Structure 1
């Protein structure tokens, strides 16, 4: 049987931006443009040094496309991850900045920590029978779980249009999403065909890389890597 780790099967890399001051203290950061902290810069730079480059896990020559959030923290992360390779990727028109992978729009909850959100909803008489859950309840004056689902499903469709002709390794067709913690976890749920409200505890550190792909080179059998071997650079 063919190994699921065969790198010729197209992959989707998820890259979370590095630490910001708001993320560090748990403030919900959606549309607010905020810079990386010095530690955030180090996180992403270290990830790039270890995982990005010719012969590494994320080989720029194997990338078919990059989608990146418009927010500065994601844009900076893209530049730090790819370093000198980013100019070549841009010239090849392989980089798209899009709201499709922007962070969840938190609406009235922008800049708040979770305890403040819950207290505010309680004062309004909400969540009488169960605690607020963004995956189910969405955000007041922001995005609902259904709205997030729809934009991510559209993006998944675009990705699969690129990868469908390449399932047998006809040519490299890896892609990468450079974005934010909540939206990347939401993307992983939809990649696995789970609804937003399906309980699926996930963690993703600032500056981290996640990997999704397909089992058995089947475009309809989307999966995630529980663990992945790191290629040795020649």
Structure 2
């Protein structure tokens, strides 16, 4: 990791571990679903390999943790940082700003099922349904999702702005859901939610956002990141 990478504040996004509905491809927003045993193992594996002093996610460098209040996200955070309760004490905020896109009438359904139901009702005759653009009946629109994510992004940038050159550690951790975190990446980069940026974020997966040239006005995504060296882990 370069000196710039080590100094620049980061936003670490983490998707909750596997659930039965995620495994089967069912849309899950407000329904409370527990992690599967495989989901628990996914999070424990990341915690053992990537979380700790001098590792990719160093709890000592966190100034704030934002978590979706859904039980699958809350449990994921508990497992991810179980060895560091004292380090993150007082830094955790449970917020609806980072809950999953509300799927409304489509909750619990699979993608193809939604498409067939919509066509039976006379919708989408000229183009396929696109959640990024069309939103969900009885749920959220893309504009509503954009507004709540933009509010959170502004809050994060206010936190990190004074420390762009490493004056003190200012990493932020988000623990949430697959679709909303991909939306967050787009808004972080200044893209509209319906921009054609194809992304994959598997259950129990981590990604890292930051800024180019230590500049608050140049938000960026790490498409590759070297692991910290022992020297860089000291601050």
Q: Output the TM-score relative to the length of structure 1.
A: 0.96
Partner of 2:158: 161
Measure, in 1, the Cα distance between the counterparts of 2:85 and 2:198. Answer: 33
How much does 1:87 deviate? 4.1
How much does 1:197 deviate? 1.1
Q: Is the 8 A contact 2:15 2:201 kept in 1?
A: yes
Partner of 1:6: 5
User: Are 1:58 and 2:57 counterparts?
Assistant: yes
Q: Deviations over 1:54-104 (max 9, x none)?
A: 1111111110100000011100100111112134412xx200000000011
Measure, in 1, the Cα distance between the counterparts of 2:189 and 2:122. Answer: 34
Partner of 2:119: 122
User: Are 1:20 and 2:19 counterparts?
Assistant: yes
| 1:188-203 pair list within 5 angstroms | 188-203=185-200
| 1:1-234 pair list within 5 angstroms | 3=2, 6-90=5-89, 93-232=90-229
Q: Is the 8 A contact 1:17 1:74 kept in 2?
A: yes
Query: How many residues are paired up?
Result: 230
Aligned with 1:103: secondary structure?
Answer: coil
Unaligned runs of 5+ in 1: none
Runs of 4+ in structure 1 over 4 Å off: none
Q: Is the 8 A contact 1:69 1:178 kept in 2?
A: yes
How much does 1:232 deviate? 4.3
Measure, in 2, the Cα distance between the counterparts of 1:65 and 1:115. Answer: 38
Measure, in 1, the Cα distance between the counterparts of 2:154 and 2:44. Answer: 31
Q: Deviations over 1:143-197 (max 9, x none)?
A: 0000000000000000001000000111100001000000000000000110011
Q: Is the 8 A contact 1:4 1:215 kept in 2?
A: no
How much does 1:126 deviate? 1.1
Measure, in 2, the Cα distance between the counterparts of 1:209 and 1:5. Answer: 21
Q: Is the 8 A contact 2:118 2:124 kept in 1?
A: yes
Measure, in 1, the Cα distance between the counterparts of 2:185 and 2:130. Answer: 18
Q: Deviations over 1:118-161 (max 9, x none)?
A: 01111221111110110000000100000000000000000001
Q: Output the TM-score relative to the length of structure 2.
A: 0.95
Q: Deviations over 1:30-51 (max 9, x none)?
A: 0001000000000010011111
